[in-house]
Amino acid sequence: MKAPKTRARVKPTQKNVDAAKYDPELSNFQWFTDPAGFGLELHESGRKSFVLSGRRANGSTFRKVIKQPDVKSARKVAIRWLSELGDNKDPWTQKRGGQTLRQVMLDWMQSRDLKAATAGQVPDQLKRYLGDWFERPYREISTKDVERRFNQIKRGEIKGQKGMIGTPKQARDTFRYLRTILRYVESHDKTYQPPTHILTKRLLPPEKEDEDELSPYEKPYTDEQLKWLGDALCRWWPQGLPEGDRLFTLWLAYTGCRRTETSKLTWSMVESDTVVLPSATTKNGKVHRLPITSQMRCILDDAKCVAGDSDKVFRVALQGSEVPRNVRYSLSLLNHKEPLPDFYRHNPQHRWRHTMGATLYDQLGYNELVIAWLLNHKKKGSITAHYSRKPPDLDVRADALQKYNNHLAKLFEQT
C-alpha cells in the first residue's frame, strides 16, 4: 500500500481553507507556510480542524487541535502557543489543571472523528453512572473513588430514574470510556498521573468472593426458572401485548442466537432445513448455518402468520437494539397471577445462550467445539477447537440442537 502524498504548503488564508478537500491519496494534513507547524486536518466526513504540531523544549512532540472558527483567529492562537513554548511554558498543562471531567470529555470527543452513534452513547453512559463526577476537576478523581464506583455499578447500587441500576457489563463499559478519556488527558498533560486502576488491563482487582460464582449476567437459567418462563411465554402471555415479542423470545430460547442477529433475520435466510445467517449479520463476520428443529419450525410457522407480507421474520414492536428491552417490558406489565421475578432482570435475552451452552455441556455431554459452532462464538480458541482436525458436521450440530430443544420443550411442557 502506497503512502499518501504530502500536500504542498499554502498561505494561511480562508480561501485555501475552503479549497482544501479530503483525498485518500493525499495526506490528511494541509500545512500552512506561517507559522511553522500550523495547519489543517481534513477528515473523511468533511470536517476540518485547525492543528498545531511541533516539539517541546524537552524533545517531546505534540499535536494540538485549535478550536477556532476561522483561520485568522486560529493563527493568532497558534502564534501565542508557540511563544509560550519558547518561554519553556506548556500552555495546555496550565489550561487543563482545573478542567472538569465534562470539559475533558468534550475535548476528547472533538479530537476524534466519532460515529454518530458513539458520539451519543459515550456522554449518555458516563452521565448515567458518573453524573455526579461531571463537574469535578478530573485531578480530584482518586483510585479509591474509581474502585468504589466500579463496584457499586457492578452490584447494581446506582440510583436511576426508575430504581437501582447497574450490571458488571455496564461497569466495564463505563470505565472503558473513562479510561480512554483520561489516557487522552495524560498524553497532553505530562504532569498528570491517572488512577492506576483505570489503566490496568483487568481494570480493577476482583472482589473477595467465591471465584466459582458467576455474575447474574453469566448465570444460566435453572430448571425452575425455565419452567416459570415457559409458563409465561406459552400460557399466560398477556392479551394485547405483541405476539412478535413472544415468538422473538422463544427463538432466542431454542436457538441461542444473539438478539441483534435475530432482529435482522429475514425470510430469504430461511431454507428448507437450515437458517443461513450471512457474514454481514453475525458478530464474527462469518456465515452461520443453523439447523432447523421441529420446535424451530413451529416458531417459524407462527411467525409467518404474524409477519404477513413483511420481509422480517419477527415483527416486533421496537426494532434494532431496543427489541429485547421491549420483550422484557412486555413481561413486566403482567398485573395478574405472578409478579416479574428478580432473576429475570439481568439481561435475560443473552442468558439464553449461557443456558444452552451449559445444558449441552453438563447435561447432554457435547464437547466445546460443537457448542462453539452452534452458538457461533466469535473465537473458537479452546483446546478442543485448536486440536480438532475439522469442525463438527452439520448432522452432529443438528442432533445436538434437537436434543437441547427437546429438553427445553419438556421444561416448557410444550408438545
Look at the chain and report how many structural domains it folds into.
Answer: 3
Cα–Cα distance measured from residue 335 to residue 331, given in angstroms and rounded to the nearest whole number: 10
What's residue 213's pLDDT?
A: 52
pLDDT, mean of each 10-residue run, the chain (415 residues): 78 90 87 88 88 77 83 87 67 58 86 77 89 86 86 86 81 87 81 64 45 60 81 66 78 86 88 89 85 90 84 66 44 46 60 86 83 76 56 81 88 70
**Closest residue by Cα to residue 74 from 32, 106, 112:** 32
One-letter amino acid identity for 343?
F
Q: Is residue 7 part of a domain?
A: no
Is 331 in the same domain as 364? Answer: yes
In sequence order, what are the beta bridge partners of 63? 53
pLDDT value at residue 323: 40
Condensed to tens digits (0 to 9), the pLDDT of residues 394-405 reads: 788 888 889 888
Query: What is the gyration radius of the CA atoms in the chain, in angstroms?
Result: 27
pLDDT tens digits for range 108-118: 888 877 777 77
Residue 3 lies in a domain: no
Angle subtended at Cα 333 by Cα 332 and Cα 339, rounded to the nearest 5 degrees:
60
Do 391 and 273 share a structural domain?
Answer: yes
pLDDT tens digit string along 118-130?
Answer: 788 888 899 889 9
**Residue 209 pLDDT:** 42
Would you state the pLDDT for residue 346?
52
Residue 48 in grid coordinates: 476540518
Residue 352 amino acid letter: W
**Residue 269, pLDDT score:** 92
Detail the DSSP E strand segments found in 142-296.
158-160, 163-165, 274-277, 288-291
pLDDT value at residue 337: 43
Shared-domain flag, residues 373 and 245: yes
Q: Which residue, 67, 89, 111, sits at the end of a domain?
A: 89
In 3-state terms, what secondary structure has residue 396? helix
Q: Does residue 58 lie within any of the structural domains?
A: yes
Cβ contact 412:249 at 8 Å? no
126 with 119: CB under 8 angstroms?
no
Q: CA-CA-CA-CA torsion for 206, 207, 212, 216, nearest 10 degrees?
A: -100
User: pLDDT at position 414, please?
Assistant: 59
Asked whether the beta carbons of 54 and 77 are under 8 A apart, the reply is no
